[in-house]
Structure 1
Amino acid sequence: MNRPLRLLLRVLLALLGLLAVLAALLAYFVYTPTPELPALSGTLSKGEIRVAGQTRHYRLYRPKGLPPDAPLLLALHGSGEGPQALRASTGYGFERLAEQHGFAVLYPKSFAFDWNDCSSIGDTELNGVRADEVGFLAALVDQQVAEHGLDPRRVFVAGVSNGGSMAMRLALEDPQRYRAVAAALANVPAPQNFQCKPVAQAGTTPPLLIMNGTADPLVPYAGGEINLLGLFYKGGAVISSMDSAQYFADRQQLQAPPQIQSTQTAGGWRVEHARWLGAAGRPQVQLTTLHGAGHVLPQPWAARPRLLGPAPTEPNGPEMIWAFFEQQSR
């Protein structure tokens, strides 16, 4: 074999080795197996609705024997994802709860890569068109409530990551439609990054739960720029998780300081709850802090990419969200 050919072969082998290393790193930090689908009694249906000249898509899970006037939970996915990704990443946690507590779960799909939330920075356009997500979700909720006989007084919203940011927008701009809202892995955009137009009447914001981890590498718990390793997915500046909760407490005119309670899970994770109580003694705003957790909604069924930081299997995030919602239903 002549010298140039040997040199070329060495370069090719080196490149193959580098690709193998990169593939191994990608598998280690990004890949997660799809969790096993639990044995559920209900049906998952696909549907579409035409809103403002656009065809929008969704999935609906209804447990078998769902009673009339049952609650409806709107579950909002993160950036670049969709209904199936949210179902899998939560270990089908909301559907498991729907079986136990008797409610329907509605998974809408964002129009573009990102939900058009309160942030002015994001990939929210598709072919030069930006959707009215608040209007789309209002039309979808009204359709599902009417079609399936669900209770319009018990419509809840739970969003994760960019879906959590969208949930905050619903709480601010369409507060009368939703009984309570949960925003996980999300903070309120900083003033220079804020595009929402909250309703003028103070005290109308629905009860809201924020659930964030202190070691989130994407949405900084202490506030700052949304990005991953300074390279990927830049979403603009946000305020801190405590300031985000205080923002909603001020919107609800809750003047007393929050009550703080700290607990320890069996696995050693510290969970801190800051609760701003309303007149009935129920938490109107709650910040649940998962100390040491990353950009993950903890649950025991599905692994999360290591790139997103530490992923506790406890406490059960979907379960805590539903417990907050149930408090608002009594």
Structure 2
Amino acid sequence: MSFASLRRFFLGSSVVHGPVAAISKHQLQRPEGPRKFLLARPSQSPTGPRPLVILLHGFGASAAQLLGQGFPPSPLAHWLEIAEREQCLVAAPDGSGHSWNDAFADARVNAKTDDCGFIGALIDELIEARGVDAARVYVMGVSKGGMMAFRLATELAPKLAAFSAVLASMPLNSQCAPPQTPISALLIASSTDPLVRYGGGSFLKNRRQAGAMLGIEASALVWRQLAGLTGGTVSEELPHRQAKDKTLATRWIWGKDPQQLQVSLIRIDRGGHAEPSPTRRYPRWINWLTGAQNADFETAELGWEFFKDKRAAFVGPAPN
């Protein structure tokens, strides 16, 4: 086995194709104490209000790992290239104890902090201090962070223009009320994810962290019904990049106008608990544990494609 092959097996790989936004460390005082977050800012001076993308890490991970500053290489670190290219801000907060209070009533190791209040206050702070466009605030979370994204979409919906939950589902037993406000939603999930059951329920090995879940399609239906998007759909199989990649990506979109409410589901058949990316690849030994990583699309790029034309229906002070 060559050195390059050994490196990919143990460390994975990360390829950057363009300039990236610079990262700085910050904290925000909250009732539970100081809460940390990273902020990625493009090098060019702003010419007007900038969109904001909030990224939420998975269980046991961190904001640093999510933005490519830790192991393993996170596909969502590609947002740093998008931030520089598209002149947007990217904020990555840290959960409490590397987790989130995501409303799963039966998740026994859930954080107890007011994470909705924290993210709401973070949005307000960045609007006031960093010139964020209050109508263009978006959230993308992966795994446990995706579950938190569902809660934020439920409780902070008036402040968000759209959200994305990656490798995550909604709780079957929730601590908070059902969502009431329509909001555009992008769901990315794997049909054979060993940690998040596509059809709902839970796996014994991660029940302490997640609890019982709705199915992925049932979760999408919640947001489709709120948006009145229960009719026809457009579906497509995404172009396959690598012959040796046995996974297959199919996208469904409800809602024709990208500037209006839309719900989209991307299903990865034969995929595992790994964000799709052709440029940032998990170590192969991790693939043995969590399943195959699709290489047909860049998760961050599809997120930006979905977010960029959407605006919040209401702009006002974020709940805290």
If the TM-score is normalised by the length of the shorter chain, which range does it land in?
0.7 to 0.9
Partners of 2:215 and 2:42 lie apart in 1 by 38
**CA shift at 1:77, angstroms?**
0.4
Q: After superposition, what is the alpha-carbon deviation per residue over 1:98-122, rounded to whole angstroms, capped at 9, x for unaligned?
A: 1121101000001133210031114
Please give the residue correspondences for 1:258-297 in structure 2 after superposition, counting only pairs within 5 Å: 258-267=233-242, 269-277=247-255, 282=260, 284-297=262-275
> Which of 181, 197, 215 in structure 2 is aligned with 1:240?
215
Structure 2, gaps ≥5 residues long: 1-5, 69-73, 313-320
Q: After superposition, what is the alpha-carbon deviation per residue over 1:19-49, rounded to whole angstroms, capped at 9, x for unaligned?
A: xxxxxxxx99995347467763532110111
Report whether the alignment pairs 1:172 with 2:154.
yes
Report whether the alignment pairs 1:58 with 2:37.
yes
Please give the residue correspondences for 1:146-157 in structure 2 after superposition, counting only pairs within 5 Å: 146-157=128-139
> Which of 184, 192, 197 in structure 2 is aligned with 1:220?
197
**CA shift at 1:212, angstroms?**
0.5
**Counterpart secondary structure, 1:110:** coil
Partners of 2:9 and 2:104 lie apart in 1 by 26
**CA shift at 1:290, angstroms?**
1.4
Partner residue in 1 for 2:169: 187
**CA shift at 1:317, angstroms?**
1.0
Please give the residue correspondences for 1:21-36 in structure 2 after superposition, counting only pairs within 5 Å: 31-33=10-12, 35=14
Please give the residue correspondences for 1:107-186 in structure 2 after superposition, counting only pairs within 5 Å: 107-120=92-105, 121-125=107-111, 130-186=112-168
**Counterpart secondary structure, 2:197:** coil
Change (3 A) 1:33 1:310: closer
Aligned length: 293
Q: Contact between 1:213 and 1:289, CA under 8 Å: does it hold in 2?
A: yes
Q: TM-score, normalised by structure 2?
A: 0.83
**CA shift at 1:260, angstroms?**
2.6
Larger displacement relative to structure 2 (239-248 or 72-81): 239-248
Q: Contact between 1:66 and 1:103, CA under 8 Å: does it hold in 2?
A: no
Q: After superposition, what is the alpha-carbon deviation per residue over 1:58-86, rounded to whole angstroms, capped at 9, x for unaligned?
A: 00000101422010000000001111111
Q: Contact between 1:91 and 1:301, CA under 8 Å: does it hold in 2?
A: no
**Counterpart secondary structure, 2:24:** strand
Q: Bigger relative contact order, structure 1 or 2, given CA contacts below 8 A and separation 6+?
A: 2
Q: Contact between 2:249 and 2:296, CA under 8 Å: does it hold in 1?
A: no
Partner residue in 2 for 1:80: 60
Bigger Cα Rg: 1
Partners of 1:231 and 1:285 lie apart in 2 by 28
Structure 1, gaps ≥5 residues long: 1-26
Change (3 A) 1:303 1:167: same
Partners of 1:262 and 1:313 lie apart in 2 by 14
Change (3 A) 1:31 1:134: farther
Partner residue in 2 for 1:98: 83
Report whether the alignment pairs 1:298 with 2:276.
yes
**Counterpart secondary structure, 2:237:** strand
Partners of 1:146 and 1:55 lie apart in 2 by 19
**Counterpart secondary structure, 2:280:** coil
**Counterpart secondary structure, 1:55:** strand
Please give the residue correspondences for 1:186-205 in structure 2 after superposition, counting only pairs within 5 Å: 186-190=168-172, 193-198=173-178, 202=180, 204-205=181-182
**CA shift at 1:231, angstroms?**
6.8
Larger displacement relative to structure 2 (136-145 or 273-282): 273-282
Partners of 2:25 and 2:249 lie apart in 1 by 36
**Counterpart secondary structure, 1:73:** strand
**CA shift at 1:325, angstroms?**
0.4
Partner residue in 2 for 1:313: 295
Partners of 2:29 and 2:218 lie apart in 1 by 38
Change (3 A) 1:285 1:205: same
Q: After superposition, what is the alpha-carbon deviation per residue over 1:253-301, rounded to whole angstroms, capped at 9, x for unaligned?
A: 3231433322332225432122221777856111111122111111123
Q: After superposition, what is the alpha-carbon deviation per residue over 1:135-156, rounded to whole angstroms, capped at 9, x for unaligned?
A: 0000011101211111111000
Q: How well do the aligned residues superpose, as a CA RMSD in angstroms? A: 2.7
Partners of 1:167 and 1:134 lie apart in 2 by 10
Q: After superposition, what is the alpha-carbon deviation per residue over 1:197-252, rounded to whole angstroms, capped at 9, x for unaligned?
A: 245xx4x221011001112111111222045xx37855211121111101111122
Q: Contact between 1:71 and 1:155, CA under 8 Å: does it hold in 2?
A: yes
Return the structure number with greater helix share. Answer: 1
Partners of 2:113 and 2:159 lie apart in 1 by 19
